Structure 1
Amino acid sequence: MLLEFCQKVKQQDRSWPMDFWLLGCILVLAGIGLTMVASSSIAISQERFDHPNHYFMRQAMAMGLGAIIAYGLFQIPLATWQKHRGKLFLFAIALLVAVLIFGREINGSKRWLPLVVMNFQPSEFMKMAVVIFMAGYLDRHADAVKESMGAVFRLALPFGLMAFLLLLEPDYGSTFVIAVMITGMLLIAGAPWRYFAFSVVPIIAILVFLVVTSEYRMARVTSFLDPWQDPFGKGYQLTQALIASGSGEWFGAGLGASVQKLLYLPDAHTDFLFSIYAEEFGFFGVLFLITLYLVITYRLFRVGRKAELANHFFGAMIAYGVGIWVILQAAINMGVNLGAFPTKGLTLPFMSYGGSSVLLFSAALAVVFRVDYESRFYPAEPKAPNFDEPEDKDDFELTPPVPPRRRRGSKSLSAKDYKSRAKNGVTGS
């Protein structure tokens, strides 16, 4: 019986145009998130807007708009994303510049562009742009990334500019998430570990320098180590979050029964919604939520693997990148709520209140569903080397592609020789 059921599910999975397990888990997560925004924001909505459901209605509108945008983006072929990946990245850079000029400052950071109906956070858009840009770069230069450190360092200019603009806001959380996403995608593409000793260490050194030279940043970073030392000052938010999480015990106080959301815990509906969830649903509720994120990440990586087998390497890297993005941001947010990490200002995907986060996660997942769709119904032929292909200027390549590494003692060949030998079917050097 169980074997027949599994075979039936497998056949049904193949007949669907997308991964329905992934879609189902996302819908469940979004439903839980919308419910928790309604529960956690009642008190703050009533105080600020004299309406208990203000934030709930705005989140519901954002999710509805996200679903519409996701449906539209699902119709766009992967070839279109691949063709315009550089323009998308440049647009994201322009948004980061715009937020520094016209942005709205909240709690000492300029991260939001005031639009007509919402405050838009360009750093969220940048995360999606980075995934697509990196996927295109790795699809085109996969062999060079495996063999040459120069192919990795060639990314320093665009991503260095991006990191500089993010640090000016400042937004250390998004900078860290994007750095890990880039590193993860490079490693999945086959880049050797030793390359990152020369790239990651300087970045860490810069971040440490920025923290040490600022008293405010130092306080933000160190306050999580012992919040009870100043429970009514620097450690107030974290102590209240820990009280909320601990109050849930095994089974929770019940939906809507949280005490900490009654204006005790700041940002209870945004960055610290996880603590309210833990208070209302307890340890087993938290375990279920973590399992849900792990299943979503597994399905995203499964889509990536299937895309690789279908010779859609560009789509595979998108699925891997989005998978890293989702699980990393979820882990950091939960860690912040439990006192494992300093406050980063990162939302819990599809849970925390925030229109920008909902819209961009919806958009990114729509592209992943498109990857799954094309992998199922339009498998590609394996790529053959083509020396007549015009140079792609959409990768910010300021140096020529790295040639294959020569064996010691072999004769150096010119580009013309490589082209001639390739046409005649001759390999090697």
Structure 2
Amino acid sequence: MNPCQLLVCTFLALAAQLTQAGPKIEFWQATSGARVFFVENHTLPILDVQVDFAAGTAREAQGKAGVAQLTRALLDLGAAGMDETQIASRMADLGAQLSGGVDLDRASVSLRTLSMADKRGPALAMLRAILTSPQFPTQVFDREQARSVAALKEALTRPDTIASRAFWSAMYPAHAYGRHATPESVNALGRADVLAFHAANYTAQGATVTIVGDLSRSQAGLLAEELTGGLMPGAVVGPVAVPELPLAGEQRIAHPAAQAHLLLGLPALKRGDPDFFPLVVGNYSLGGGGFVSRLMKEVRDKRGLAYSVSSFFQPLGQLGPFQIGMQTKKAQANDALKVTREVLAAFLAQGPSEVELQAAKQNLIGSFPLRLDSNRKLLDNVAMIGFYGLPLDYLDRYPENIEKVTAADIQAAFARHVRPEHLVTVVVAGE
């Protein structure tokens, strides 16, 4: 072993030791049926709480695209006799913050508050009111619906939005992950649709509560009972349907933009898949490692075909996408696409070199502590673990699982998950 290899191995060993002691995650089920995940952290007088519901856009009924986003937008704009101004004023007086959003799988409501009882208690009472007694006022519904329609109309003029929507529709042509809200679908929604979506999906059985911060285990238990006790029980939430893999194909969409937008990918990775770590390490070498990745070197550095090009895996409740994306001049779109396909084909055939493998591990392990260096980041990670049912020692073992990946593991995992016969391509504004 030469000195450089010895240095890399020593760094990996030390980094693994330093990052093995992840946060202690405690789990239990509330009386309501909601699942609860708790990390006790007294470093700062801060408490972060997030409640996730299986109420993402994939849960929308056919013809109701947009109802998930509209429901979440309205949730904290009127509750328990308070209008949106009163809710906002009360939270500001307490120094607390509400946030959240919707993605394909889940809808979330988050609260950050000071942990002192005189601040924590009223802030949590507000969160409970929003979760259990939303009012969805008619005037606010009308306003937010109009705002959503206007935002969609504006977004649909942009080439990046057009490319993304066409790409997801091509990857998931007959699946909920490939459906999109349109101005027409949102405009057709009524307040009754929001009420029905909320009643069906914002339930205790579909709820995951994540608590991180300055609280004891007994206090966290009481908090979870109070937050979820008023939720409707609901039915046990089943998984989203498994998507069928698309046939490989290419779609070109005309647009007057100066830059062409290129996207390549396919449904590839589900949360909890044992190939997750080989795919993450391999993707760092392929297109996830910035200037050290193959795609960046070949497409940008050697040929100047794009300012930036990258790849990533987005694991979801069902097969989420592997995606390569870039922007380039219209006249260069075909050349950039050709080089990208060649780089991907070579990586699938050969896997990473030993130098690439060690560099990927060094970066992923060395940067891992930065993913846990704040209450908010801890909350995000633990909420993901809880919602998707990952092992409670997932964060403890992350560096270990990265370190043990081999080049052969990567090549085999990519062969299983990134199959060219299912790779779809979308080019917007290309020539």
Specify if TM > 0.5: no
TM value normalised by structure 1: 0.24
Structure richer in strand, relative to its length: 2
Structure richer in helix, relative to its length: 1
